Amino acid sequence: MKSTATYAHRQTRSAPLDKYRSINAVVESFFGVLKCERVNRVWYRTREEARADLFEYIEVFYNRKRRHGYLGNVSPADFEQRSAGSFETVY
């Protein structure tokens, strides 16, 4: 039977890995969506054109208008608007 100290040591060592894996999953998901919805559908003549288009896609569409599953299939702008009234300011 393994001791509690050994179990605790293994838990603390794996916690940063679990956090990394979680963050990595989010990043992989984002880039998968970006490639599927934008990069693979548009032909860019220059890198600057690609940068400008991807910046606009991410900042204007993806972050503000695109529906996100983790927000209950609403856009971030709609989510913020809906939840703005549900928080009270505490002084």
**Do 61 and 82 lie in a common domain?**
yes
pTM: predicted TM-score of the whole model, two decimal places: 0.51
The confidence score (pLDDT) of residue 49 equals 96
4-58 pLDDT, tens digit per residue, is 655 555 555 666 667 777 778 878 988 898 899 889 999 999 999 999 999 998 8
**Do 51 and 88 lie in a common domain?**
yes
b/e map 53-71, b = 16+ CB within 10 Å: ebeebeeeebeeeeeeeee
Domain span at 91: 47-91
The confidence score (pLDDT) of residue 50 equals 94
Structural domain total, the chain: 2
pLDDT at 82 over 60: yes
Reading the block at residue 54, the tokens are 């991807």
**Do 69 and 84 lie in a common domain?**
yes
Do residues 87 and 79 lie in contact, with contact meaning Cβ atoms separated by under 8 Å? no
Do residues 39 and 54 lie in contact, with contact meaning Cβ atoms separated by under 8 Å? yes
